[in-house]
């Protein structure tokens, strides 16, 4: 059962914009095609939308401290 962006409202509250709803549908359909598991597809789509909502890959702790790059260890 492929999902449309309209289905996102029924499965998650995090898809608040049209762009996030389209992302939800795309990710859910992609995972469903690869795995055949609808539950896994919904969980994956929810995680993708939540990641987008948090601001991507940077963690909240790193954003709070202003560190956006990984520190390198010094050579001695």
6-43, pLDDT tens digit by residue? 888 888 888 888 999 999 999 999 999 999 999 999 99
Report the C-alpha gap between 22 and 20 in whole angstroms: 5
pLDDT of residue 53: 63
Give the other-Cβ count within 10 Å of 51's Cβ. Answer: 13
pLDDT tier for residue 65 given thresholds of 50, 70 and 90: low
pTM above the 0.75 mark?
Answer: no
């Amino acid at each position: 059962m492929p999902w449309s962006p309209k289905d996102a409202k029924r499965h998650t509250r995090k898809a608040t914009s049209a762009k996030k709803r389209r992302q939800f549908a795309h990710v859910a359909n992609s995972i469903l095609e690869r795995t055949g598991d609808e539950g896994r597809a919904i969980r994956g789509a929810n995680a993708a939308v939540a990641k987008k909502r948090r601001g991507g890959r940077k963690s909240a702790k790193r954003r709070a401290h202003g560190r956006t790059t990984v520190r390198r260890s010094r050579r001695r």
